[in-house]
């Protein structure tokens, strides 16, 4: 497999992890779409995959799954925090309306 594609996958995985750490979900999503297209390109000729490539791709998949799980957890936490904030804001507005 092309070293360029392996390098591109590694770079994009690092970018996804960075986006997850910064809670930049939109950038993470666009990077994951880029990873998807790169992986599709890799598997257009699966016969060209060496054993090293297969090991790399298995490890890559494990790391990508972990990063995506982290993103999903952070998105859920952010949604929960936003919900709490919105309920608090509604209570404040009701209180202000009573005055």
Inter-residue contact 38 to 5 (CB < 8 Å): yes
* Residue 67, domain extent: 3-98
CATH code at position 41: 1.20.58
Tens-place pLDDT, residues 19-74 = 999 989 999 999 999 999 998 888 888 888 888 988 999 999 999 999 999 999 99
Q: What is the pTM of this model?
A: 0.74
- Domain tally, the chain: 1
Inter-residue contact 50 to 1 (CB < 8 Å): yes
pLDDT at residue 89 is higher than 90:
no
pLDDT of residue 32: 93
Three state DSSP letters for the chain: CCHHHHHHHHHHHHHHHHHHHCCCHHHHHHHHHHHHHHHHHHCCCHHHCCHHHHHHHHHHHHHHHHHHHHHHHHHHHHHHHHHHHHHHHHHHHHHHHHC
Average pLDDT over residues 70-96: 89
């Amino acid at each position: 497999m092309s070293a360029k594609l392996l390098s591109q996958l590694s770079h994009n995985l690092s970018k996804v992890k960075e986006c997850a750490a910064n809670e930049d979900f939109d950038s993470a999503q666009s990077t994951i779409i880029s990873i998807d297209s790169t992986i599709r390109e890799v598997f257009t000729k699966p016969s060209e995959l060496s054993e090293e490539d297969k090991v790399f791709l298995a490890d890559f998949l494990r790391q990508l799954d972990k990063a995506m799980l982290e993103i999903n957890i952070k998105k859920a936490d952010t949604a929960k925090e936003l919900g709490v904030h919105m309920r608090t804001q509604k209570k404040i507005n009701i209180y202000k309306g009573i005055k």
